[in-house]
């Protein structure tokens, strides 16, 4: 598969993320992850557009982590972050409703499914969706531990901060969303397809 097709899949993944966040999750202040939680807080405190807040948080983390990322993965991640934020910007300025279903838990369900599909598509191309995953990989590399624990601690800390400022119910909603979306990520990532493509190069460089 050519780079055009690979980046088309990355664009689809980024758009699915943007739809999930702007239509289903962020209207209820439900963070999609650690970066999403920081974006919600920036919007809450400073009234920044959510699309810009998410792009700013993700891009800042990527700049910090660029030393540890390969060129292809860095470009792919920047591309996916930009597509996600652009999708959110368009939807923010065209949506005329606050809740597609009128029920926060239904919105949470559909948003988590779409988010998982988007992240799964990105990971299949060895592209990060940005956020705390980049920092978790760096911590894991330096401490020689799996990235799951630092990712959980980073995201969990931001979920608690967001909930303490806005609404404690957010913690439960964020955990449910994470559980659903990660299940979908695993399903998408593990789908067996004919080996007709070579994804972008692996993301993290080894510590020296």
**6-46 pLDDT, tens per residue?**
899 999 999 999 999 999 999 999 988 889 999 999 999 99
121 within 8 A of 80, measured Cβ to Cβ:
no
Q: Compute the average pLDDT of residues 79-98.
A: 90
Q: How far apart are CA 61 and CA 63, in angstroms?
A: 5
User: Tell me, what's the pLDDT at 15?
Assistant: 97
**36-88 pLDDT, tens per residue?**
999 999 999 999 999 999 999 988 888 877 777 666 677 888 899 999 999 99
Question: Would residue 131 be called left, alpha or beta, if left means φ above 0 and alpha means ψ between -120 and 50 degrees?
Answer: left
The reported pTM is 0.81
């Amino acid at each position: 598969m050519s780079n055009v097709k690979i980046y088309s899949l990355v664009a689809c993944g980024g758009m699915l993320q943007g739809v999930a966040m702007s239509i289903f999750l962020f209207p209820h202040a439900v963070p999609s992850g650690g970066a999403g939680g920081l974006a919600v807080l920036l919007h809450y405190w400073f009234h920044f557009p959510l699309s810009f807040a998410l792009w700013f948080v993700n891009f800042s983390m990527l700049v910090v982590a660029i030393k540890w990322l390969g060129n292809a993965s860095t470009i792919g991640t920047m591309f996916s972050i930009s597509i996600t934020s652009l999708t959110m910007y368009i939807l923010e300025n065209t949506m005329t409703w606050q809740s597609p279903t009128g029920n926060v838990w239904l919105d949470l369900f559909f948003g988590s499914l779409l988010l998982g599909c988007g992240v799964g598509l990105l990971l299949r191309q060895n592209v990060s969706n940005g956020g705390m995953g980049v920092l978790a990989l760096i911590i894991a590399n330096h401490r020689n531990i799996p990235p799951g624990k630092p990712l959980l601690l980073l995201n969990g800390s931001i979920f608690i901060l967001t909930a303490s400022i806005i609404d404690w119910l957010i913690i439960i909603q964020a955990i449910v969303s994470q559980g659903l979306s990660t299940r979908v990520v695993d399903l998408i990532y593990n789908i067996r397809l004919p080996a007709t493509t070579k994804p972008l190069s692996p993301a993290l460089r080894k510590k020296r």
